[in-house]
Amino acid sequence: MKFTGVPILVTMVVGGVVLLDFFVKQSNLILLSREFMNWGVIISAFATGLGAANLLRIHAKRTQLRRTDWWYSGILLCVLVGYTALGVLKHSSSSQYQFVFNHMFQPLSATVFSFNAFFMTSAAYRAFRVRTVHATVLLVSALLMMLGRVGIGEVLYKDMPGIASWISRVPTTAGFRGITIGAALGAIGLSLRVLTGIERSQFGGTGGGGGAA
């Protein structure tokens, strides 16, 4: 049996206070809620640091043990340590830090992301086939959206942007609104389960159950 009583209690108190703050305007409650929110930001920052430390540990070990493709881990370590040192010693507003960002990281990152355009072209060619009625509906709406979002669509038919806008505003919105409301109801249910200690998967277990800690 895991010791989960204290984390559940902390979750109940913190979650309860922040939730109550939305409905009850009481000065002490507001102050306490603000404090908890600031703790949340600090914990998030700590989690980011923990992630970086974990990355460092894993890749240092890979490099040390010369595992397969260990040099990639070595490069990662050099960049992680070097760029962090540059930020700490010179500050991220320094010209050196910004040079690395603007002339190395930004173009590399944008290049990797732009590969998607090539994969999407190939995938669209292979996937969009009129094999069923559903596939045909998807294909037609995709074609109208693609033409409606670019200038060449207007050259072919002047009302094309209006058609794309209608698809976006009416059927798409209707579908997404349903999904959003459903997801929100699910989130409320899950939040209540966490707050009341029924949901415990965040402690590493399988969740659910409702038994005592």
Partner 1 sequence: MNLWEIFQNIDRRVWYVLLLVSLFIPLVRPLGLPLSIGGEARDVYNTIEALPAGSVVIVSPSYSPGTDAEMWPQHAAVMQHLMRKGCKIIQVSLALESVMYAVRAIEAYAPKYNYKMGVDHVIMPYKAGLDVVIASMGRDIHALYTEDYYGTLTSQLPLMQSISGIQDIALVVDFMPGNTLVDYIKQIGSVYNTPITGGVTGVCIPTMMPYVMSGQCRGLLGGMRGAAEYELLINSPGSAIGGMDAQSLSHLLIIVAIALGNIGLVAGRGLRKGGGGK
Stretch touching partner 1 by CB under 8 A, among 35-43, 61-69, 71-79, 194-202: 35-43
Distance of CA 152 to the CA centre of its chain: 34
CB 210 within 8 A of CB 2: no
DSSP string, 32-90: HHHHHHHHHHHHHHHHHHHHHHHHHHHHHHHHHTT-TTHHHHHHHHHHHHHHHHHHHHH
Contacts with partner 1 by CB under 8 A: the residue count is 61
Per-residue tokens: 98 = 């910004």
Q: Which is nearer to partner 1, 98 or 191 (CB)?
A: 98
121 forms part of the interface with partner 1 (CB under 8 A): yes
In the complex, least distance from residue 172 CB atom to partner 1, rounded to whole angstroms: 5
Applying CB under 8 A, which residues contact partner 1?
A: 22, 30, 33-34, 37-38, 40-41, 43-45, 47-48, 91-93, 98, 101-102, 105-110, 112-114, 117-118, 120-122, 124-126, 128-131, 139, 143, 146-147, 149-155, 161, 165, 168-169, 172-173, 175-177, 180
